[in-house]
Amino acid sequence: MPAPIRILTAVPICDGHDSAINTINLEFIRHGIEVVYLGYHRYAEDIVRAAIQEDVRAVGISSYNGGHVEFFAEVVRRLKKRGAADIKVFGGGGGTITHDDQRLMQKRGVDKIFFAGTSLTDMTEWVRHRYGKAGKRAAGGSAEMKLARKLTAIEDSYATGKRRKKSAASKAKKSPGTRVIGFTGPGGAGKTTLIDELILRLLHREPKVRIAILSHDPSVVGSGALLGDRATMINSQDDRVFMRSMATRGQAGGLSPATEDCLRLLAQSDFDYVIIETVGTGQEAMPFQTKLVDQTVLVMNPDYGARLQLQKIVMLDLADIVVVNKSDLDRAKTAMSEIERRLEGSGREQKLLSTVAKRHRDRGVDKLCDLLVREPAKKGGRK
Ligand code: B12
Protein backbone atom coordinates (compact mmCIF):
# COMPACT_ATOMS: atom_id res chain seq x y z
CA MET A 1 0.00 0.00 0.00
CA PRO A 2 1.42 3.42 -0.89
CA ALA A 3 1.37 6.00 1.90
CA PRO A 4 -1.59 8.41 1.67
CA ILE A 5 -1.07 11.76 -0.07
CA ARG A 6 -0.90 14.57 2.50
CA ILE A 7 -1.94 18.08 1.52
CA LEU A 8 -2.67 21.26 3.45
CA THR A 9 -5.66 23.49 2.74
CA ALA A 10 -6.48 27.01 3.92
CA VAL A 11 -8.35 30.22 3.18
CA PRO A 12 -6.32 33.47 3.04
CA ILE A 13 -6.24 36.38 5.44
CA CYS A 14 -9.40 38.57 5.53
CA ASP A 15 -11.45 35.83 3.90
CA GLY A 16 -14.16 33.86 5.67
CA HIS A 17 -15.48 31.92 2.67
CA ASP A 18 -14.86 28.41 3.99
CA SER A 19 -17.85 26.55 2.65
CA ALA A 20 -16.14 25.66 -0.66
CA ILE A 21 -12.99 24.35 1.01
CA ASN A 22 -15.02 22.37 3.57
CA THR A 23 -16.81 20.59 0.73
CA ILE A 24 -13.58 20.00 -1.18
CA ASN A 25 -11.77 18.71 1.94
CA LEU A 26 -14.49 16.11 2.48
CA GLU A 27 -14.27 14.93 -1.12
CA PHE A 28 -10.47 14.61 -0.85
CA ILE A 29 -10.59 12.58 2.36
CA ARG A 30 -13.26 10.29 0.94
CA HIS A 31 -10.73 9.43 -1.75
CA GLY A 32 -7.89 8.50 0.55
CA ILE A 33 -6.17 11.88 0.86
CA GLU A 34 -5.05 13.17 4.25
CA VAL A 35 -5.96 16.84 4.50
CA VAL A 36 -4.39 19.09 7.13
CA TYR A 37 -6.91 21.94 7.34
CA LEU A 38 -5.54 25.21 8.66
CA GLY A 39 -8.85 27.10 8.60
CA TYR A 40 -9.82 30.49 7.22
CA HIS A 41 -8.36 33.98 7.69
CA ARG A 42 -4.76 32.69 7.55
CA TYR A 43 -1.52 34.53 6.93
CA ALA A 44 0.80 33.38 4.14
CA GLU A 45 3.50 32.74 6.75
CA ASP A 46 1.21 30.51 8.85
CA ILE A 47 0.40 28.49 5.73
CA VAL A 48 4.07 28.10 4.82
CA ARG A 49 5.16 27.14 8.36
CA ALA A 50 2.37 24.58 8.61
CA ALA A 51 3.13 23.13 5.15
CA ILE A 52 6.78 22.61 6.09
CA GLN A 53 6.08 21.14 9.53
CA GLU A 54 3.40 18.84 8.14
CA ASP A 55 5.68 17.95 5.19
CA VAL A 56 2.77 18.01 2.75
CA ARG A 57 3.09 17.52 -0.99
CA ALA A 58 1.00 20.59 -1.82
CA VAL A 59 -0.99 23.51 -0.44
CA GLY A 60 -4.56 24.10 -1.67
CA ILE A 61 -5.84 27.64 -1.20
CA SER A 62 -9.46 28.71 -1.55
CA SER A 63 -9.74 32.44 -2.14
CA TYR A 64 -12.83 34.62 -2.66
CA ASN A 65 -12.20 38.09 -1.29
CA GLY A 66 -9.62 39.29 -3.81
CA GLY A 67 -5.86 39.76 -3.53
CA HIS A 68 -5.37 36.20 -4.78
CA VAL A 69 -2.68 37.03 -7.37
CA GLU A 70 -0.44 38.47 -4.64
CA PHE A 71 -1.43 36.00 -1.92
CA PHE A 72 -0.82 32.79 -3.88
CA ALA A 73 2.48 34.22 -5.22
CA GLU A 74 3.52 35.18 -1.69
CA VAL A 75 3.00 31.60 -0.48
CA VAL A 76 5.06 30.29 -3.42
CA ARG A 77 7.80 32.86 -2.74
CA ARG A 78 8.01 32.06 0.98
CA LEU A 79 8.11 28.31 0.34
CA LYS A 80 10.99 28.84 -2.09
CA LYS A 81 12.81 31.10 0.34
CA ARG A 82 12.61 28.38 3.00
CA GLY A 83 13.98 25.76 0.59
CA ALA A 84 10.58 24.07 0.21
CA ALA A 85 9.91 24.74 -3.48
CA ASP A 86 8.97 21.05 -3.83
CA ILE A 87 5.71 21.85 -1.97
CA LYS A 88 3.34 22.91 -4.75
CA VAL A 89 0.54 25.49 -4.59
CA PHE A 90 -2.88 25.13 -6.21
CA GLY A 91 -6.46 26.23 -5.53
CA GLY A 92 -9.54 28.05 -6.70
CA GLY A 93 -12.12 30.71 -5.97
CA GLY A 94 -15.25 30.43 -8.11
CA GLY A 95 -16.63 33.87 -8.88
CA THR A 96 -13.40 35.74 -8.13
CA ILE A 97 -10.30 34.37 -9.89
CA THR A 98 -10.37 35.11 -13.63
CA HIS A 99 -8.57 33.30 -16.45
CA ASP A 100 -6.23 36.28 -16.87
CA ASP A 101 -5.43 36.12 -13.14
CA GLN A 102 -4.71 32.43 -13.50
CA ARG A 103 -2.17 33.00 -16.26
CA LEU A 104 -0.38 35.55 -14.08
CA MET A 105 -0.50 33.26 -11.06
CA GLN A 106 0.94 30.35 -13.01
CA LYS A 107 3.78 32.57 -14.22
CA ARG A 108 4.50 33.21 -10.55
CA GLY A 109 4.78 29.53 -9.78
CA VAL A 110 1.21 28.43 -8.95
CA ASP A 111 0.54 24.91 -10.17
CA LYS A 112 -3.15 25.06 -11.06
CA ILE A 113 -6.35 27.07 -10.54
CA PHE A 114 -9.78 25.43 -10.66
CA PHE A 115 -12.75 27.43 -11.93
CA ALA A 116 -16.50 27.38 -11.24
CA GLY A 117 -18.15 24.31 -12.67
CA THR A 118 -15.24 21.90 -12.21
CA SER A 119 -16.58 18.71 -10.64
CA LEU A 120 -15.30 17.48 -7.29
CA THR A 121 -14.32 14.23 -8.98
CA ASP A 122 -12.15 16.02 -11.56
CA MET A 123 -10.37 17.99 -8.83
CA THR A 124 -9.76 14.89 -6.72
CA GLU A 125 -8.46 12.93 -9.71
CA TRP A 126 -6.12 15.78 -10.62
CA VAL A 127 -4.72 15.93 -7.07
CA ARG A 128 -4.25 12.17 -6.93
CA HIS A 129 -2.52 12.14 -10.28
CA ARG A 130 -0.38 15.27 -9.80
CA TYR A 131 0.66 14.69 -6.19
CA GLY A 132 0.41 10.92 -6.03
CA LYS A 133 4.16 10.47 -6.05
CA ALA A 134 6.56 12.42 -3.89
CA GLY A 135 8.45 14.90 -6.06
CA LYS A 136 12.21 15.42 -6.03
CA ARG A 137 13.19 16.86 -2.66
CA ALA A 138 15.66 19.69 -2.50
CA ALA A 139 18.74 18.67 -0.53
CA GLY A 140 19.55 20.36 2.76
CA GLY A 141 16.89 22.47 4.40
CA SER A 142 16.35 23.74 7.92
CA ALA A 143 16.41 21.57 11.04
CA GLU A 144 12.62 21.90 11.14
CA MET A 145 12.29 20.61 7.59
CA LYS A 146 14.62 17.69 8.30
CA LEU A 147 12.60 16.76 11.37
CA ALA A 148 9.36 16.97 9.38
CA ARG A 149 10.79 14.68 6.69
CA LYS A 150 12.00 12.16 9.24
CA LEU A 151 8.49 12.02 10.71
CA THR A 152 7.10 11.39 7.23
CA ALA A 153 9.64 8.61 6.69
CA ILE A 154 8.52 6.94 9.94
CA GLU A 155 4.81 7.26 9.08
CA ASP A 156 5.38 6.01 5.53
CA SER A 157 7.45 3.05 6.68
CA TYR A 158 4.44 1.86 8.69
CA ALA A 159 1.94 2.65 5.93
CA THR A 160 3.90 0.72 3.31
CA GLY A 161 4.69 -2.18 5.64
CA LYS A 162 8.42 -1.45 5.35
CA ARG A 163 8.84 -0.46 8.95
CA ARG A 164 12.53 -0.15 9.63
CA LYS A 165 14.13 -2.19 12.33
CA LYS A 166 14.51 0.02 15.35
CA SER A 167 17.95 1.57 15.30
CA ALA A 168 19.94 2.19 18.45
CA ALA A 169 19.06 5.87 18.13
CA SER A 170 15.36 5.15 17.96
CA LYS A 171 15.61 3.14 21.17
CA ALA A 172 17.49 5.92 22.91
CA LYS A 173 15.81 7.65 25.80
CA LYS A 174 14.31 11.10 25.52
CA SER A 175 16.32 14.22 26.03
CA PRO A 176 16.60 14.94 29.79
CA GLY A 177 15.24 18.49 29.51
CA THR A 178 12.12 17.46 27.64
CA ARG A 179 8.78 16.98 29.35
CA VAL A 180 6.26 14.84 27.49
CA ILE A 181 2.59 15.39 28.35
CA GLY A 182 -0.22 13.21 27.03
CA PHE A 183 -3.78 14.53 26.64
CA THR A 184 -6.71 12.26 26.10
CA GLY A 185 -10.47 12.18 26.63
CA PRO A 186 -13.75 11.79 24.78
CA GLY A 187 -14.51 13.70 21.58
CA GLY A 188 -16.01 17.13 22.19
CA ALA A 189 -14.46 17.64 25.64
CA GLY A 190 -12.35 20.54 24.34
CA LYS A 191 -8.88 18.95 24.40
CA THR A 192 -7.60 20.90 21.41
CA THR A 193 -8.79 24.28 22.71
CA LEU A 194 -7.36 23.49 26.14
CA ILE A 195 -3.96 22.56 24.70
CA ASP A 196 -3.92 25.72 22.58
CA GLU A 197 -4.59 27.83 25.68
CA LEU A 198 -1.76 26.05 27.49
CA ILE A 199 0.59 26.71 24.58
CA LEU A 200 -0.31 30.40 24.78
CA ARG A 201 0.63 30.44 28.46
CA LEU A 202 3.86 28.52 27.94
CA LEU A 203 4.91 30.87 25.13
CA HIS A 204 4.31 33.85 27.43
CA ARG A 205 5.98 32.35 30.49
CA GLU A 206 9.15 31.08 28.85
CA PRO A 207 10.48 33.42 26.15
CA LYS A 208 12.78 30.78 24.62
CA VAL A 209 10.54 27.78 25.06
CA ARG A 210 10.25 25.30 22.17
CA ILE A 211 7.22 23.07 22.04
CA ALA A 212 6.24 20.16 19.84
CA ILE A 213 2.66 18.97 19.41
CA LEU A 214 1.73 15.57 18.03
CA SER A 215 -1.94 15.73 17.32
CA HIS A 216 -4.16 12.86 16.17
CA ASP A 217 -7.38 12.66 14.19
CA PRO A 218 -9.20 9.55 13.03
CA SER A 219 -8.80 8.12 9.54
CA VAL A 220 -12.10 7.55 7.78
CA VAL A 221 -13.42 5.22 5.12
CA GLY A 222 -10.96 4.94 2.23
CA SER A 223 -8.04 5.76 4.54
CA GLY A 224 -8.16 9.57 4.16
CA ALA A 225 -8.41 11.85 7.16
CA LEU A 226 -9.36 15.39 8.01
CA LEU A 227 -6.56 16.62 10.26
CA GLY A 228 -8.30 19.71 11.54
CA ASP A 229 -6.69 20.55 14.89
CA ARG A 230 -4.65 23.41 13.42
CA ALA A 231 -7.89 25.21 12.59
CA THR A 232 -8.64 25.38 16.35
CA MET A 233 -5.06 25.89 17.55
CA ILE A 234 -4.64 29.53 16.63
CA ASN A 235 -2.04 30.32 19.33
CA SER A 236 0.05 27.33 18.35
CA GLN A 237 0.79 28.74 14.88
CA ASP A 238 4.07 30.19 16.12
CA ASP A 239 7.73 29.79 15.17
CA ARG A 240 8.49 28.32 18.61
CA VAL A 241 5.91 25.57 18.12
CA PHE A 242 6.43 22.55 15.88
CA MET A 243 3.10 20.90 15.24
CA ARG A 244 2.49 17.65 13.42
CA SER A 245 -0.95 16.21 12.65
CA MET A 246 -1.25 12.44 12.37
CA ALA A 247 -4.06 10.21 11.16
CA THR A 248 -4.76 7.02 13.09
CA ARG A 249 -4.50 5.01 9.82
CA GLY A 250 -6.69 2.16 10.97
CA GLN A 251 -5.46 1.74 14.54
CA ALA A 252 -8.01 1.85 17.38
CA GLY A 253 -7.33 3.38 20.79
CA GLY A 254 -6.56 6.99 19.96
CA LEU A 255 -3.09 6.92 18.36
CA SER A 256 -1.45 5.77 15.11
CA PRO A 257 0.82 2.75 14.51
CA ALA A 258 3.71 5.20 13.99
CA THR A 259 3.01 7.35 17.07
CA GLU A 260 5.53 5.84 19.45
CA ASP A 261 8.44 6.18 16.99
CA CYS A 262 7.41 9.71 16.05
CA LEU A 263 7.03 10.65 19.71
CA ARG A 264 10.45 9.22 20.48
CA LEU A 265 12.01 11.26 17.68
CA LEU A 266 10.39 14.46 18.99
CA ALA A 267 11.36 13.65 22.57
CA GLN A 268 14.98 13.22 21.47
CA SER A 269 14.93 16.54 19.63
CA ASP A 270 15.53 19.92 21.15
CA PHE A 271 12.06 20.63 22.61
CA ASP A 272 11.23 21.70 26.15
CA TYR A 273 7.74 20.22 25.94
CA VAL A 274 6.25 17.59 23.71
CA ILE A 275 2.47 17.50 23.88
CA ILE A 276 0.61 14.56 22.46
CA GLU A 277 -3.13 14.62 21.87
CA THR A 278 -5.16 11.51 21.12
CA VAL A 279 -8.33 11.39 19.05
CA GLY A 280 -11.57 11.38 21.06
CA THR A 281 -11.35 8.12 22.99
CA GLY A 282 -13.80 5.61 24.48
CA GLN A 283 -14.15 4.15 27.96
CA GLU A 284 -11.59 1.38 27.54
CA ALA A 285 -8.81 3.49 26.02
CA MET A 286 -5.36 3.50 27.68
CA PRO A 287 -3.40 5.31 25.00
CA PHE A 288 -0.20 6.17 26.87
CA GLN A 289 1.40 2.80 27.51
CA THR A 290 4.87 4.18 26.95
CA LYS A 291 7.51 5.33 29.37
CA LEU A 292 8.11 8.33 27.13
CA VAL A 293 5.09 10.16 28.60
CA ASP A 294 5.82 11.97 31.89
CA GLN A 295 2.32 13.17 32.73
CA THR A 296 -1.12 12.28 31.50
CA VAL A 297 -4.16 14.53 31.44
CA LEU A 298 -7.71 13.24 31.00
CA VAL A 299 -10.06 15.95 29.73
CA MET A 300 -13.73 15.28 30.46
CA ASN A 301 -16.98 16.93 29.47
CA PRO A 302 -19.40 17.40 32.44
CA ASP A 303 -22.12 15.70 30.39
CA TYR A 304 -20.86 12.11 30.65
CA GLY A 305 -24.25 10.66 31.65
CA ALA A 306 -25.07 8.84 34.90
CA ARG A 307 -22.51 8.50 37.72
CA LEU A 308 -22.21 4.79 36.94
CA GLN A 309 -20.52 5.73 33.64
CA LEU A 310 -17.51 6.94 35.59
CA GLN A 311 -16.79 3.44 36.87
CA LYS A 312 -16.19 2.33 33.30
CA ILE A 313 -13.65 4.97 32.27
CA VAL A 314 -10.26 3.30 32.59
CA MET A 315 -8.26 6.52 32.27
CA LEU A 316 -9.82 7.80 35.50
CA ASP A 317 -7.56 5.29 37.27
CA LEU A 318 -4.49 6.13 35.21
CA ALA A 319 -4.46 9.88 34.57
CA ASP A 320 -2.23 12.11 36.69
CA ILE A 321 -4.56 15.05 36.20
CA VAL A 322 -8.28 14.98 35.45
CA VAL A 323 -9.77 18.14 33.98
CA VAL A 324 -13.49 18.85 33.81
CA ASN A 325 -13.60 21.30 30.93
CA LYS A 326 -16.69 23.30 29.90
CA SER A 327 -17.30 23.84 33.61
CA ASP A 328 -19.59 26.75 32.78
CA LEU A 329 -22.22 24.13 31.89
CA ASP A 330 -25.01 23.49 34.41
CA ARG A 331 -23.91 19.99 35.31
CA ALA A 332 -20.29 20.91 36.06
CA LYS A 333 -20.62 21.14 39.87
CA THR A 334 -22.24 17.73 40.10
CA ALA A 335 -19.62 16.33 37.73
CA MET A 336 -16.78 17.65 39.88
CA SER A 337 -18.11 16.06 43.04
CA GLU A 338 -18.94 12.74 41.34
CA ILE A 339 -15.49 12.55 39.72
CA GLU A 340 -13.82 13.52 43.01
CA ARG A 341 -15.48 10.56 44.70
CA ARG A 342 -14.57 8.28 41.81
CA LEU A 343 -10.90 9.31 42.05
CA GLU A 344 -10.85 8.52 45.78
CA GLY A 345 -11.24 4.88 44.79
CA SER A 346 -8.23 4.83 42.46
CA GLY A 347 -5.68 4.62 45.27
CA ARG A 348 -3.42 7.15 43.53
CA GLU A 349 -2.68 10.77 44.12
CA GLN A 350 -4.44 12.53 41.26
CA LYS A 351 -5.31 16.16 40.70
CA LEU A 352 -8.78 17.30 39.71
CA LEU A 353 -9.34 20.68 38.05
CA SER A 354 -12.19 22.50 36.37
CA THR A 355 -11.62 24.73 33.34
CA VAL A 356 -13.43 26.73 30.69
CA ALA A 357 -10.81 26.56 27.94
CA LYS A 358 -12.78 28.70 25.49
CA ARG A 359 -12.69 31.62 27.97
CA HIS A 360 -9.71 33.96 27.77
CA ARG A 361 -7.45 33.99 30.84
CA ASP A 362 -9.39 31.18 32.53
CA ARG A 363 -8.05 30.59 36.06
CA GLY A 364 -8.54 26.84 35.76
CA VAL A 365 -6.26 26.71 32.71
CA ASP A 366 -3.69 28.81 34.62
CA LYS A 367 -3.75 26.20 37.41
CA LEU A 368 -3.34 23.38 34.94
CA CYS A 369 -0.37 25.17 33.40
CA ASP A 370 1.21 25.50 36.89
CA LEU A 371 0.88 21.74 37.36
CA LEU A 372 2.48 20.97 34.02
CA VAL A 373 5.44 23.33 33.82
CA ARG A 374 8.82 21.78 34.38
CA GLU A 375 10.40 22.10 37.76
CA PRO A 376 13.65 24.12 37.53
CA ALA A 377 15.74 21.02 38.35
CA LYS A 378 14.42 19.27 35.27
CA LYS A 379 15.20 22.07 32.86
CA GLY A 380 18.29 20.28 31.62
CA GLY A 381 20.18 23.54 31.27
CA ARG A 382 19.01 24.14 27.74
CA LYS A 383 18.36 27.86 28.11
C1 B12 B 1 -21.40 31.42 -0.44
C2 B12 B 1 -20.89 32.85 -0.51
C3 B12 B 1 -20.84 33.58 0.66
C4 B12 B 1 -21.22 33.01 2.00
C5 B12 B 1 -19.96 32.29 2.55
C6 B12 B 1 -20.27 31.11 3.42
C7 B12 B 1 -19.01 30.40 3.77
N8 B12 B 1 -18.90 30.09 5.05
O9 B12 B 1 -18.19 30.13 2.93
C10 B12 B 1 -21.55 34.30 2.79
C11 B12 B 1 -23.00 34.63 2.56
C12 B12 B 1 -21.30 34.26 4.29
C13 B12 B 1 -20.70 35.31 2.05
C14 B12 B 1 -20.23 36.46 2.62
C15 B12 B 1 -19.51 37.40 1.92
N16 B12 B 1 -19.28 37.42 0.62
CO17 B12 B 1 -19.58 35.92 -0.49
N18 B12 B 1 -20.03 34.62 -1.85
C19 B12 B 1 -20.51 33.43 -1.75
C20 B12 B 1 -20.70 32.83 -3.16
C21 B12 B 1 -22.18 32.98 -3.51
C22 B12 B 1 -20.32 31.37 -3.40
C23 B12 B 1 -18.92 30.94 -2.98
C24 B12 B 1 -18.87 29.45 -2.82
O25 B12 B 1 -18.76 28.92 -1.69
N26 B12 B 1 -18.99 28.67 -3.92
C27 B12 B 1 -19.05 27.21 -3.88
C28 B12 B 1 -17.78 26.57 -4.52
C29 B12 B 1 -17.74 25.08 -4.22
O30 B12 B 1 -17.88 26.72 -5.91
P31 B12 B 1 -17.00 27.75 -6.70
O32 B12 B 1 -16.88 28.99 -5.94
O33 B12 B 1 -17.52 27.83 -8.07
O34 B12 B 1 -15.54 27.07 -6.72
C35 B12 B 1 -15.10 26.18 -7.73
C36 B12 B 1 -13.62 26.29 -7.93
O37 B12 B 1 -13.16 27.62 -7.79
C38 B12 B 1 -13.05 25.36 -6.91
N39 B12 B 1 -12.39 25.84 -5.72
C40 B12 B 1 -12.72 26.82 -4.87
N41 B12 B 1 -11.84 26.85 -3.86
C42 B12 B 1 -10.97 25.85 -4.05
C43 B12 B 1 -9.88 25.41 -3.32
C44 B12 B 1 -9.15 24.31 -3.74
C45 B12 B 1 -8.01 23.82 -2.93
C46 B12 B 1 -9.51 23.66 -4.94
C47 B12 B 1 -8.76 22.48 -5.39
C48 B12 B 1 -10.58 24.10 -5.68
C49 B12 B 1 -11.31 25.19 -5.23
O50 B12 B 1 -14.12 24.55 -6.44
C51 B12 B 1 -15.30 24.78 -7.21
C52 B12 B 1 -15.37 23.76 -8.27
O53 B12 B 1 -16.53 23.81 -9.00
C54 B12 B 1 -19.81 33.78 -4.02
C55 B12 B 1 -20.31 34.05 -5.44
C56 B12 B 1 -19.83 33.02 -6.41
N57 B12 B 1 -20.71 32.58 -7.23
O58 B12 B 1 -18.68 32.62 -6.38
C59 B12 B 1 -19.84 35.08 -3.20
C60 B12 B 1 -18.65 36.00 -3.24
C61 B12 B 1 -17.36 35.23 -3.18
N62 B12 B 1 -18.80 36.83 -1.96
C63 B12 B 1 -18.49 38.02 -2.14
C64 B12 B 1 -18.53 38.98 -1.11
C65 B12 B 1 -18.24 40.42 -1.50
C66 B12 B 1 -18.86 38.64 0.21
C67 B12 B 1 -18.88 39.58 1.42
C68 B12 B 1 -17.71 40.53 1.51
C69 B12 B 1 -20.24 40.31 1.38
C70 B12 B 1 -20.40 41.36 2.44
N71 B12 B 1 -20.32 42.62 2.03
O72 B12 B 1 -20.57 41.03 3.60
C73 B12 B 1 -18.93 38.59 2.59
C74 B12 B 1 -17.51 38.28 3.11
C75 B12 B 1 -17.53 37.15 4.12
C76 B12 B 1 -16.16 36.89 4.69
N77 B12 B 1 -16.09 36.81 6.02
O78 B12 B 1 -15.18 36.78 4.02
C79 B12 B 1 -18.02 38.34 -3.55
C80 B12 B 1 -16.51 38.54 -3.66
C81 B12 B 1 -16.24 39.68 -4.64
C82 B12 B 1 -14.80 39.94 -4.92
N83 B12 B 1 -13.85 39.21 -4.43
O84 B12 B 1 -14.53 40.88 -5.62
C85 B12 B 1 -18.61 37.12 -4.35
C86 B12 B 1 -17.79 36.72 -5.59
C87 B12 B 1 -20.05 37.53 -4.76
C88 B12 B 1 -20.09 38.66 -5.76
N89 B12 B 1 -20.20 38.36 -7.04
O90 B12 B 1 -20.02 39.81 -5.41
N91 B12 B 1 -20.45 34.88 0.79
- In whole angstroms, give the CA distance from residue 327 to residue 273: 26
Give pLDDT tens digits for 227-268: 999 999 999 999 999 999 999 998 888 899 999 999 999 999
Within a 10 A sphere around the Cβ of 147, how many other Cβ atoms? 22
Q: Please give the pLDDT value at position 251.
A: 86
Atom of ligand 1 nearest to the CA of 126: 47
Are the beta carbons of 166 and 204 closer than 8 angstroms?
no
Atom of ligand 1 nearest to the CA of 119: 53
* Burial tier of 308 (Cβ tally within 10 Å: 0-12, 13-18, 19+): exposed
- In whole angstroms, give the CA distance from residue 211 to residue 142: 17
Atom of ligand 1 nearest to the CA of 95: 58
Is any atom of ligand 1 closer than 6 Å to the C-beta of 12? no
Calculate Rg over the CA atoms of the chain. Answer: 21
Q: Please give the pLDDT value at position 377.
A: 37
Q: How many residues does the chain have?
A: 383
Averaged pLDDT of the chain: 92
Q: Please give the pLDDT value at position 289.
A: 82
Model confidence at 380, pLDDT cuts 50, 70, 90, reads very low
pLDDT over 90 percentage in the chain: 81
| CA end-to-end distance (rounded Å), the chain | 44
* Burial tier of 279 (Cβ tally within 10 Å: 0-12, 13-18, 19+): buried
Is any atom of ligand 1 closer than 6 Å to the C-beta of 16? yes
Separation of 120 CA from ligand 1 center, angstroms?
Answer: 16
Measured by CA distance, the residue closest to atom 67 of ligand 1 is 65
Model confidence at 160, pLDDT cuts 50, 70, 90, reads confident
Separation of 94 CA from ligand 1 center, angstroms?
Answer: 7
Are the beta carbons of 40 and 16 closer than 8 angstroms?
yes
Separation of 340 CA from ligand 1 center, angstroms?
Answer: 49
- In whole angstroms, give the CA distance from residue 130 to residue 133: 8
Q: Please give the pLDDT value at position 79.
A: 97
Is any atom of ligand 1 closer than 6 Å to the C-beta of 111? no
Q: What pTM, to 2 d.p., does this model score?
A: 0.94
Residue among 23, 110, 99 at smallest CA distance from 72: 110
Model confidence at 176, pLDDT cuts 50, 70, 90, reads confident
Measured by CA distance, the residue closest to atom 31 of ligand 1 is 94
- In whole angstroms, give the CA distance from residue 151 to residue 265: 8
pLDDT over 70 percentage in the chain: 95
Is any atom of ligand 1 closer than 6 Å to the C-beta of 62? yes
pLDDT at 222 over 80: no
Q: Which of 11, 17, 123 to mutate to test the pocket of ligand 1 (most atoms within 8 A of CB)?
A: 17
